[in-house]
Structure 1
Amino acid sequence: MNTQGTDSPAGGDIVAVPVRHPWRWVGAGVVLVLLVGLIWAFSQASIDWSVPPKYFFQSQVLKGMGNTLLISVLAQVVGVALGILVAVMRQSDNWVTRGVAEFYIWLFRGTPVLVQLMIWYNLSLVFPTVPGTGIPMNSVMTPFTAALLGLGINEGAYMAEIVRSGIQSVDKGQVEAASALGMSRTHTMRRIVLPQAMRVIIPPTGNEFINMLKTSSLAYSIQYLELLQAAVRIYSNTLQVIEMLITVSAWYLILTTVFSIAQYYLERYFNRSDQESGQDGGPLGAVKRNLKFGRQE
């Protein structure tokens, strides 16, 4: 007598039953309700939605956006250069060099960047002239210079730790082999260590630059005309505070999105040897793959 049902697996085959996740749908529903509620709340708020498009390409806003890009790029360049220098100093066998590097990191990571910006901007209170030159400090320490020094030097402390972790990720055996071949430490660092360390350094550096784009808004406090300062100058006359803040927020979102995509392709370039053929497809390809994997659960 055959007791096996028609739907039973034959020959001991295992039937995979998809695992149901009802709470995922509950969570998605809650998020959707909250999102709709947020949109409805803003639609009922006393906001003139015609203002953001009106001022989006206004000359002062565009100038602020350009200055934001300028100070972010230059400060990041300063930060990367200082980070590489300090990271190499931390690897030194000389305790004085190593101590100076560690003190630099401790000082600038341990104090708020806003405080550092204010100190640079008000440096003329303790140094009326540039030491040894007689040049008035106020003519040198402009809002741009103070923002560049404050943001760049602070960023250098964080970049130093990122570069150090990248250097330490390289196999020490390669450094020893280079030394056995007669290569100097500087030559080894430049030709062997740093090129390989870039694969570890690039991702957090991209994140640091995106963060720099937003942190540059702190330069508003020292009267540097970046995006936020441009919005403040406009809404001080028009009293359209929220509308102008929405405008600059949209610009920040655009800038961070563009550079996030650029970061993706830069990371892909340095990891090209590990890429699987046909598995990339850019950011949109990654989204498609994630959706595909989600359907297969």
Structure 2
Amino acid sequence: MAAPQQLTTEVDGQTMKLTNLGKVLYPQTGFTKAEVIDYYHQVAELLLPHLSDRPLTRKRWPDGTGAQYFFEKNAPRGTPAWVRTVTLPTPGSSTGRDEADFVVADDIQTVVWLANLAALELHIPQWRIGLSDTGKDPQADLIVFDLDPGPGASIVECCDVALALRELLGHYGLEGWPKTSGNKGMHLYVPIEPASSRSTSAFAKLLAEQLAEALPENVTANMTKALRPGKVFIDWSQNASAKTTLAPYSLRGAEEPRVSTPIDWDEVASATDAEELRFLPHEVLARIEEYGDVLEGLYDDPQPLPSIPS
């Protein structure tokens, strides 16, 4: 018997209607909307600590990854009353709006609701709403380094750079937590005590430039694409308050449903093949079953942001 195209169900006490369940959202693999919803439902417990109290930017593919997508900051028309929304300023918005009503995913029901909207990618800033003055002075609890391989490089080279960055962070008394980007590169999270996004950006830029100076054949901290072939670009700019990064355990809207997957330092150190660090939903769920949450403890021991020379 074919699976139903729509279903009314209860998620953690909340009744919701799931629609177009048989729609293929990843044409190359046949991965359906029902499978997207199921993955997000299963991984929500590990995803929520990273989404909680952060304004979400969604990247939606209502007709699948073979068709057009769109970014969405505002809560869409018809957002249920039980979904938390927060009005925050959006300086420099391409829409010309001064503020937006952001969705905030604090519970499993909201995660499932987003999956039903084909919000395949969930992007978050490095700051939380509760730490900030209504978003006007965002206070970050994370620093992120986005390691992006240029032509001729891969995630394997990103792993080499991540190891060097880990050592550099150690000199400042900081710890890095790696994950794949779900695309070609890596992200490295650094938990900190709340600090302004301006100061975290300055610190991230300093470290990126220090590493680029120490490893000029392997690393660039310059955004000029012509300088990237064969190198890993350390994108420190993701720490700006208006910037977002793909959340841990989020899907990617690509040809296949790859996941931004937390990995441990042993995996980083032993990486020799990019394929070994590409994970699909069933592989991520199997990893969780075997290893638990590799990012467990990320927020348990934040360190003060080191002062840098002015």
TM-score tier after normalising by the smaller chain length: under 0.3
The structure with more helix, counted as a fraction of residues: 1
TM-score (norm 1): 0.22
TM-score (norm 2): 0.22
Which structure is richer in relative contact order (CA contacts within 8 A, separation 6 or more)? Answer: 1
**The structure with more radius of gyration:** 1
